[in-house]
Amino acid sequence: MSNRLRLGVNIDHVATIRNARGGDHPDPVRAAQIVARCGGDGITAHLREDRRHIRDDDLRRIQDATDLPLNLEMAATEEMLAIALAHQPHAACIVPEKREERTTEGGLDAAGLHNQLAPIVSRLSDAGIRVSLFIEATERQLDAALRLGAPVVEFHTGEYAHATGEDRARILKQIADMSALAAKNGIEPHAGHGLTYENVQPIAAIPQLAELNIGHYLIGEAIFDGLEPAVLKMRELMDLAR
Ligand code: PXP
């Protein structure tokens, strides 16, 4: 199916549970292997500055354990750039990062941070790493991504996920419009954050979207149903929406 929407599974929160006890269990590598086995299209992991979930050695272990492309979420810092260049993930998604936040709360200000981002985007691109910018679905941010030469943008769906009624419909339209505009300009649009069985389908139905990255909800469902059934169910909902 040419219009198949890829599912990248974010396994950060397997590591969150592991780190709660400071040992090796549960191992995010095992989660990555299950995702590979049941038809996930990629593994996403966010190496945060404070290493609250994924740790440096997890990256190499994940890369060694599966053939799935690794999408490394990273802040635009020299430290993370050096790690990305050393690990050569398939893709690097640049995200804003605040130490005190619980999760990535908003999109990257690609417009305001142009000068800080430009050298990072070009050094990642020169190394053959596919750069994605995690932005809000606005024309200003999309223009900035174009100016930075990013081949991919990931639209932040957190606000959509939390909204209801007319607000949700308005934000959905904004994401759909910006996905169309991105594709028209040669940028591959992705989306992610806060997606669940309940809210994924209107997003999955946006025809230009090429990939969704989903983590927290899937790992939560995996506690009750197992990771493989959770990934398969999300996959099925996404396919039904296309
Ligand atoms: N995409 C990006 C860029 C993210 O930062 C995150 C959260 O780490 C996700 C997708 C996944 O979000 P969630 O865990 O809410 O599904």
Domain boundaries along the sequence of the chain: 6-241
- Among 169, 231, 154, smallest CA distance to 199 is for 169
pLDDT tens for the chain, residues 1 to 242: 457 999 999 999 999 999 999 999 999 999 999 999 999 999 999 999 999 999 999 999 999 999 999 999 999 999 999 999 999 999 999 999 876 677 777 899 999 999 999 999 999 999 999 999 999 999 999 999 999 999 999 999 999 999 999 999 999 999 999 999 999 999 999 999 999 999 999 999 999 999 999 999 999 999 999 999 999 999 999 999 99
154 Cβ closer than 6 Å to some ligand 1 atom: yes
Atom of ligand 1 nearest to the CA of 93: 3
For residue 107, how far is its CA from the centre of ligand 1 (angstroms)?
A: 11
Whole-number Å distance, alpha carbon 144 to ligand 1 midpoint, is: 21
Ligand 1 close to Cβ of residue 134 (< 6 A): yes
Q: Tell me if the domain spanning 6-241 has CATH number 3.30.420.130.
A: no
Distance 227 CA to ligand 1 centre (A): 17
